[in-house]
Chains A and B, each alone.
Chain A
Amino acid sequence: MDVLACVKRVPMVGGRITLTEDGQEVDTRMSGFTVSPHEECAVEEAVQITEREGGTVTVLTLGPPEAEAQLRDMLALGAGRAILLETGPEEWGPQSTAAAIAAAARATGPYDLLLFGNEAADTGGYQVPVRVAHELGLPCVTGIKTLEVTGDGVVAAREYRGRQERFGLPRPAVISVKEGINLPRYPSLPGRLRAKRATVERLVPDARPDGLRKTMLTVPARENRRAEILGTGPEAVPALVALLDELGVLP
């Protein structure tokens, strides 16, 4: 089973998100970068599948040269091959990203399964996996929380409005997953050493225009609150009970 897992390098954000002065990107001077959470789970799922079924995991990203660091993180989780579709610092939109990934999958495959995260943590476009599936003429389902490999296909399931939806797909197939499908492992020391030495293959993707173009980012204005302090420690409990009573949530 040869699995392609696609990831995205995104800023690591903590308690606050700040923007660069020109409002074009998240200010990462005080933070760093990571792999989008759903996608880390896609890589973990790919590794678990090949541990059971045999085969290889190839991890791919489209991004600037620095995205090599995120590919090495994924190699440390157990991916065997890494491909960087190297771009400049500019942001690529969903249509151009999907076209580039589909072209790379054709050039470096074939793959039995293509795994993605459901949506990137930063841009939240919700469409690259589906567009890649159409470019490659493959069946596709998104938002998957359980995945089972069968004889010649996969059974994928997710929750929707309190019910479970199950889908059977023939392979090859494109699946996007959500965090919770598994618990990604911590990279082992041998894994990290192997990742450090591994070769990252580089390809230059063809750019094409995107129909959705960012002009500016802003931090939404929220009600500037300062929590009213009810008290300190267990002595605050009577005030807390009175508040819950006022909110009408006590039994």
Chain B
Amino acid sequence: MTVLCLTELEPDGGTVTDASLRALAFSRSLAGPAGEDVAAAVLDAPDAALAGEARAALAAAGVRTAHVADLGEAAGYAPLAWARALAELATTALATTGPASAVVAAGTDHGQEVLAHLGAITGLPMAANCLTAARGDGGQWQLTRQRWAGSLTEEAVLDGDPALLTVATDAVAPAPAETPAELAVAPFRPSLADGDLTVRATVSAERGGGVSLATARVVVGGGRGVGGPDGFGPLEELAGLLGGALGVSRVVTSQGWRPHRQQVGQTGTRITPELYLACGISGAIQHMAGCLSARTIVVVNTDPDAPILAHAQYAVIGDLGQVIPALVEAVRARQNPVR
């Protein structure tokens, strides 16, 4: 038996995505105790060839077999076609190692979508955003998975042979295997039906300009306490000075004060900065789900009892309208000391 993991590459074709490395680490945790192998399904390799760098990364991640799809004219992201390819691999193409006991994908837009299609094609149940999974009695799996974007944990039982699982982004570190595997590359050409390619992505060039909120090293956050659409200037200025990005709470976007793409939270962007400076934000569940991966949270808030203080390392009690301009001035003064 094998644990089969959907593995995505960055557009350069050489780098395995961080989310997929995490999914591979999760796959190892399922395969190891059962003495099974980890196989990777790579469906987006340019020209159906695996670059040396990607081979090395997969071997380091403990992958024994990389099934590399040759989709020919159909290359590119097509969720139903990708699910069809996984279904084929999970049952037939793994004949050398036996069918898959589990099919795993990262809890990304692609991972959730492809595994949902796989569940629908096969009639199997699927569990999203798993934290742990272990084989239980009678072919069932015991899981823990995220609800409320991680604010609650669900313990659940999953039927299904194979088990269909996506991995919560922060469930496991993208660490390499203790001992790297000897990797075999197995090209395959999935059998697709016409309708499998009806829905296919056309992908734009990477968006330039500005620091991406999802990957920013510093995020300066503004919430209801900013008071209105005109109050964000000092926060933006500070974010600019620190080479960071502005992030806002849901109330700010639902009031139309700032565009939704700046929202941090369960229904917005999940951030992972070194520093999250949260100003005038109370700390609703919905917001905290998006920022708990920040290394350090510093709060500026007039209310010393705001819920966000229970998640923060440091706080300044005060009005952001006074504190932030003074901070901007102090950072500027440090940058350009008066001689």
Q: Could you tell me which A residues sit within 8 Å of B by CB distance?
A: 13-17, 19, 26, 37-38, 93-95, 119, 121-127, 129-131, 133-135, 139-143, 158, 160-167, 169-170, 178-180, 183-184, 210-220, 222, 224-234, 236-241, 243-244, 247-251
**How far in angstroms is the closest Cβ of chain B from A244?**
7
Task: Pick the interface stretch among B31-39, B65-73, B252-260.
Answer: B252-260
A-B contact pairs, 29 of them (CB 8 A): A13-B285, A14-B284, A15-B285, A37-B267, A126-B166, A127-B119, A130-B120, A134-B117, A135-B120, A142-B79, A142-B113, A160-B108, A160-B109, A160-B110, A162-B212, A179-B268, A214-B155, A214-B156, A220-B153, A227-B309, A228-B315, A233-B316, A239-B316, A243-B298, A247-B274, A247-B275, A248-B274, A249-B244, A250-B334
Bound CA–CA A38/B218 (angstroms): 27
Task: Pick the interface stretch among B51-59, B87-95, B172-180, B193-201.
Answer: B193-201
A-side contacts of B284, CB under 8 Å: 13-15
Verify B283–A15 contact, CB threshold 8 A: yes
Choose from B126, B311, B335 the contact partner of A212 (Cβ within 8 Å). Answer: B126
Given A127-B119, A163-B207, also A169-B109 (CB < 8 A): no
Verify B298–A251 contact, CB threshold 8 A: no
Verify B152–A165 contact, CB threshold 8 A: no
Bound CA–CA A199/B323 (angstroms): 53
Verify B127–A212 contact, CB threshold 8 A: yes
Residue B129 interfacial (CB < 8 Å) = yes
Residue B293 interfacial (CB < 8 Å) = no
Choose from A95, A134, A164, A180 the contact partner of B204 (Cβ within 8 Å). Answer: A164
Given A15-B284, A26-B152, A222-B311, also A163-B205 (CB < 8 A): yes
Task: Pick the interface stretch among B21-29, B182-190, B224-232, B324-332.
Answer: B324-332
Bound CA–CA A121/B235 (angstroms): 29
Verify A164–B203 contact, CB threshold 8 A: yes
Residues 1-55 of B contacting A (Cβ, < 8 Å): 10-11, 17
Verify B334–A218 contact, CB threshold 8 A: no
B-side contacts of A236, CB under 8 Å: 316-318, 323
A-side contacts of B108, CB under 8 Å: 160
Verify B77–A165 contact, CB threshold 8 A: yes
Residue of A nearest to B311 (CB): A225
Bound CA–CA A227/B255 (angstroms): 29
Choose from B125, B158, B166, B316 the contact partner of A232 (Cβ within 8 Å). Answer: B316
Given A14-B284, A250-B334, also A166-B152 (CB < 8 A): no
Verify A93–B125 contact, CB threshold 8 A: yes
**How far in angstroms is the closest Cβ of chain A from B327?**
5
Residue B234 interfacial (CB < 8 Å) = no
When A and B form their complex, what is the total count of cross-chain residue pairs whose Cβ atoms lie within 8 Å?
Answer: 264
B-side contacts of A180, CB under 8 Å: 253, 260-261, 263, 267-268
Interface size range on B against A: 35 or more
**How far in angstroms is the closest Cβ of chain B from A250?**
7
**How far in angstroms is the closest Cβ of chain A from B124?**
7
Majority-rule SS of B interface residues: mixed
Verify A178–B267 contact, CB threshold 8 A: yes
Choose from B121, B285, B309 the contact partner of A16 (Cβ within 8 Å). Answer: B285
Choose from B115, B201, B254, B309 the contact partner of A165 (Cβ within 8 Å). Answer: B201
Verify B330–A241 contact, CB threshold 8 A: yes
B-side contacts of A222, CB under 8 Å: 292, 311
Verify B206–A163 contact, CB threshold 8 A: yes
Residues 148-164 of B contacting A (Cβ, < 8 Å): 148-160
Bound CA–CA A88/B79 (angstroms): 34
Given A167-B199, A211-B158, A229-B317, also A251-B243 (CB < 8 A): yes
Residues 264-304 of B contacting A (Cβ, < 8 Å): 266-268, 274-275, 282-286, 292, 296, 298-299, 304
Verify B317–A123 contact, CB threshold 8 A: no
A-side contacts of B245, CB under 8 Å: none
Bound CA–CA A121/B149 (angstroms): 8
Verify B128–A134 contact, CB threshold 8 A: no
Verify A240–B316 contact, CB threshold 8 A: yes
A-side contacts of B282, CB under 8 Å: 15
B-side contacts of A233, CB under 8 Å: 316-319, 322-323
